[in-house]
Amino acid sequence: MAGIELRGLTKVYPGGVKALDSLDLAIPDGEFFALLGPSGCGKTTLLRTIAGLETATGGAVVIGDRDVTGVQPGGRDIAMVFQDYALFPHMDVTDNIAYPLRIKKVAKATRHDKAAEVGARLGLEHLMDRRPGQLSGGQQQRVALARVMATQAQAFLFDEPLSNLDARLRLEARTFLKKLQRELGVTTVFVTHDQAEALAMADRMAVMESGHIRQIGTPAEVFQRPANTFVAGFIGSTPMNLLDGTVRGDTLEVAGCKVAVPASAEGRLSDGEKIVYGVRPEYLAYSSEPAEGAFGGKVVIVENLGASHLVTLDVNEVTVQAVVPEGGEPEIGDNGYATPRRDRALVYRDGELV
Ligand code: ATP
């Protein structure tokens, strides 16, 4: 097993698209690392460049202590699971799992033993004679994982391996994959466009935007303290409120309301300075009574989120959203007041966290 290090990694496709722009990233041995970002930001390119399926235009890929930048995919000792699993339709489960061992010229009996062992570990023992077309999506995914595990690579690369599963299987697979990665302790890089998946599974994650990494951190760090307004707007099942404001002495004027300076920005702002005030809808306490330091306005939308409601307020023509626990939800047209938590609100200056 080995860590993965990227040094100034750059990929420019023929035609001039710069998919990776001088990326630096160090993933320690054994870490479960998620790559997240909007469509086209370069996630798949990054994974394929680590695997050697794309050639880097500049910079280096280091696996363990070996610079593999010029090494063919087969010589990198890493295994990749693709979105479509890439199983061989004419082979049964045993042969699919054992395929990489066949390539390595491992004897048939040995590779079948290994396939049986790994298959059992993934709960496939009763399916070993079937072909991929006779398996459910979740079972196919487990075969693809088993094939990767049978190779005993130094690192695993997953490109949206759960995207073909339905919602329930996907949740199951998440837990399963996380547990498996823990047990095996193999460095794993996981590409997803589903942030809930990244937050739930990753030890650490990177958020990418147009070929750049905009933040690296634990899911908690990225969720609680997005480093810039891009990450703040991207992460969260309901987007963070990002509101223009001005520093007025020891308070802030935001959406025509007077709100307290967030704890994290205390003593770090200058009077009169323009800022962006960020607070997640989950960190606004909603009330139908006026409150000091609250955003006061009219309720314009109430959306049911299941155990809570997302209430949209028009605050002096600025939209502010708050999550309101079950039972406390207002009616459209009511006056509403949303008080931010000082310990959770954030201030951005020129797009970067203060
Ligand atoms: P998605 O989430 O939609 O899969 P992604 O983040 O994985 O997107 P990439 O597939 O890595 O993004 O693409 C990054 C950029 O490189 C995009 O602008 C894409 O159009 C471009 N690109 C990808 N593959 C090629 C290629 N073979 N030739 C030219 N441009 C490419």
Candidate of 41, 57, 82, 163 to mutate for ligand 1, largest count of ligand atoms within 8 Å of Cβ: 41
- This prediction has a pTM of 0.89
Asked if residue 228 has its Cβ within 6 Å of ligand 1, the reply is no
The predicted pLDDT at position 292 comes to: 94
Q: Tokens 């203060």 identify what position?
A: 354
Please tell me the distance from the alpha carbon of residue 264 to that of residue 125, in angstroms, as a whole number.
54
Nearest CA to ligand 1 atom 18: 40
Atom of ligand 1 nearest to the CA of 211: 14
Atom of ligand 1 nearest to the CA of 54: 27
The predicted pLDDT at position 281 comes to: 97
The predicted pLDDT at position 63 comes to: 94
Contacts 24+ apart (CB under 8 A), 12-20: 12/57, 18/211, 19/45, 19/211, 20/45, 20/46, 20/49, 20/56, 20/211
Asked if residue 41 has its Cβ within 6 Å of ligand 1, the reply is yes
Nearest CA to ligand 1 atom 16: 19
Asked if residue 43 has its Cβ within 6 Å of ligand 1, the reply is yes
Sites in the chain below the pLDDT cut of 70 = 1
Asked if residue 16 has its Cβ within 6 Å of ligand 1, the reply is no
Nearest CA to ligand 1 atom 1: 39
The predicted-structure confidence for 259-310, as pLDDT tens digits, reads as follows 999 999 999 999 999 999 999 999 999 999 999 999 999 999 999 998 999 9
Asked if residue 44 has its Cβ within 6 Å of ligand 1, the reply is yes
Ligand 1 centroid from CA 211, angstroms:
10
Task: Work out the burial of residue 276: count CB atoms within 10 Å of its CB; fewer than 13 is exposed, 13-18 middle, 19 or more buried.
Answer: buried
Candidate of 18, 35, 44, 80 to mutate for ligand 1, largest count of ligand atoms within 8 Å of Cβ: 44
Listed in sequence order, the residues at least 6 apart from 226 whose beta carbon sits closer than 8 Å to its beta carbon are 215, 232, 234, 235, 240, 278, 346, 353
Note the ipTM here: 0.97
Contacts 24+ apart (CB under 8 A), 17-23: 18/211, 19/45, 19/211, 20/45, 20/46, 20/49, 20/56, 20/211, 21/210, 21/211, 21/212, 22/58, 22/59, 23/59, 23/211, 23/212, 23/213
The predicted pLDDT at position 1 comes to: 66
